[in-house]
Structure 1
């Protein structure tokens, strides 16, 4: 494998790291390439934990920022290696990971190599296993083994935002709402009780539910409560005795995890509810002077992040965090995943201006 050339342009680095497959559970080759490229740089202290690479400056500045990006992707589906395409006269890089989120990682790698004397100290994090359950995430593992590496005054996660700033994120809750019945032969259905039929009020409540839009520190977060799966049934001639409706609640960062749980239990009062997964959101944290300077450097009005991202991990540790990276989030995981070259270059310009302003 050829070594990563961090003197190349950020679009070229994007092409290079996208062409190193790194589907979750198989990030080792890319982590090795990043470590080999970063470790020799004298201005960085490098730490590796599994397939997570952390590189830090330590110039004694009064403030430190953390800039992170995950290196894994969802499975490849004929979209590696990358190729250059032109759409409406605009050049794009097409291929798995270009949007989510190797273009952002490429910008970070280039800046990590070149910013020998930034205006603030920087902790760069490139981590594994973001696209799978949170318990496997490199950040989960790193927070347990080296929580000190998360220290900072502000954090940026390079998730795709089309080059705009998305502050904080919604929380997410997944619940299983169960109904029970009694099995019987379907030819004698009156002997049993149909658990699937009993779930009809659950679906009715979801259909009637009107989600709120909640303002948090000037950003409007849209909530949502939706069925995402339903299961039940034993055989084609058996009245089912169990039905499970999986429900996903996306809630504004103004709600605590406990408040989100109470809300869902209230909506489905009278039914058995199991909370299967829960992650709190993150407030925008854009009022700090360091964050204001960031907004001025990159330009544009901040927006809310509706999906959950790892900014919530930093928020939980008291570090305000935003999402900022190239790529249309609607194309994340899409087989036609592609990123505009101009967005990669603009995100690099914005971050460079902010990190070097004195």
Structure 2
């Protein structure tokens, strides 16, 4: 039996080159074993960190007795590779000058490379640091490696502050909006479309739902100094059985992105009030996260970065930390708008700049 060598990662060299090496290890959700092996091997080789492996999640931490502990977290998986021939956001990676292309370049192997470089370069950080590299972020939340850590290793998520190295173009993004999905169903009576008066059209019955959503004015809510823009939209509609049958059922799927001033019960009540009289079923819900920028560790980090913090409109795993009472922000290299695209790329200097900012703060 031939034993294949573990992918070797150079944590001491250029962090952009390290990003390319990570991109070259295909790690679509469910296939993270190889990259987790490489990360685990590189961290254990440092010899000064406590390292634990759980499935395809790898955790490492310093134990220097510092007065504060921070968590640096990032996911190892990516969305599936592009299916369009000639796409550059694929595996293996490629360079065009100082721009690195490949699946996961922005979401989020640049951030993972920064974590690994910090683990290698910071022998005596001013704060104790916990590094978490987790699996299954891009799929069903129930499969999340970070969620598994919270259940099986809760002591590893105890900290004063957490940074999720999701792409933010080098800007601190505090907290995140929550998200909730509903199905609004209408019922009618089936009939032949040539005798429509014998039936009741369920699709037409959904029109009032769409009118209320169209006319709804989304709020902008200030939370701890950051303005979170909400949105409430129909994202899918279905109904009908045949081209000559009056439909007896229809469904409108609705997504509500709500500011972190609301908990799940309040967000649900808001939508039910707007769509009173309709049958609503909640199909998915994740609470948002307050920014927590007033905490000492968070405030010092924002000061070190030196840029005005912004709100995070999309949902990220900072919400998991917030639920545990750990204030968390998003901060990482790359443009989030390029995530999952067939043209996914990141500038080498953005990765290096992210590393410099975090090292300055922690060293």
TM above 0.5: yes
Match of 1:283 in 2: 290
Alignment partner, residue 274 of structure 2: 267
Moved over 2 A (4+): none
Gaps of 5+ in 2: 1-5
1:166 equivalent among 170, 173, 196: 173
**In the aligned structure 2, how far is the partner of 1:93 from the partner of 1:227?**
36
Find 2:319's aligned residue among 308, 312, 325.
312
Corresponding residue number in structure 2 for 1:63: 68
Matches within 5 A, 1:1-358: 2-77=7-82, 78=87, 79-86=90-97, 91-356=98-363
Greater displacement, 272-281 / 41-50: 41-50
Rounded Cα–Cα distance in structure 2 between residues aligned with 1:143 and 1:182: 48
Unaligned runs of 5+ in 1: none
Answer with 4-13 or 14-23: which moved more: 4-13
Q: Shift of the alpha carbon at 1:40? A: 2.4
Counterpart Cα distance in 2 of 1:42 and 1:19: 25
If the length of structure 2 is used for normalisation, what is the TM-score?
0.95
Contact 1:71 1:127 in 2 (8 A): yes
What SS does the aligned partner of 1:39 have?
A: helix
Tell whether the 8 Å contact from 2:318 to 2:328 is kept in structure 1 after alignment.
Answer: yes
CA distance in 2, matches of 1:193, 1:136: 42
Q: Please say if residues 176 and 315 of structure 2, whose CA atoms lie closer than 8 Å, have aligned partners that are also in contact.
A: yes
Superposition CA RMSD, Å: 0.9
SS of residue matched to 2:38 = helix
Alpha-carbon distance in 1 for matches of 2:274, 2:7: 56
Instruction: Determine the C-alpha separation between the residues in 1 that align with 2:8 and 2:353.
Output: 25
SS in 1 for 2:46: coil
User: Matches of 1:265 and 1:2 in 2, distance apart?
Assistant: 52
Q: 1:298 touches 1:347 (CA, 8 Å); kept in 2?
A: no
Hey, what's the Cα distance between the residues in 1 that align with 2:140 and 2:251?
Answer: 21
Cα drift, residue 2 of structure 1:
3.5
Give the secondary structure class of the aligned counterpart of 1:201.
helix
Deviation at residue 105 of structure 1 after TM alignment: 0.4
Distance 2:108 2:23 in 1: 9
Alignment TM-score, normalising by the size of structure 1: 0.97
2:239·2:251 contact (CA, 8 Å) conserved in 1? Answer: yes
Q: 1:117 Cα deviation (Å)?
A: 1.0
1:204-263 per-position Cα deviation (integer Å, ceiling 9, x unaligned): 011101001011111000000011111111112221111111100000001111100000
- Contact 1:63/1:120 (8 A) holds in 2: yes
SS of the residue 1:80 aligns to: coil
Whole-Å separation in 2 of the counterparts to 1:128 and 1:26: 9
Instruction: Give the number of equivalent residue pairs.
Output: 352
Query: Does the CA-based 8 Å contact 1:202-1:268 persist in structure 2?
Result: yes
- Distance in 2, matches of 1:2 and 1:154, equals 32
Quote the Cα distance in structure 2 between the aligned partners of 1:135 and 1:58: 30
Quick check: 2:7–2:34 contact (8 Å CA) kept in 1?
A: no
SS in 2 for 1:40: helix
Superimposed CA distance per residue, residues 79-134 of structure 1 (whole angstroms, 9 cap, x where no aligned partner):
22111124xxxx21111100000000000011012211111111100001111111
Shift of 1:297: 1.4
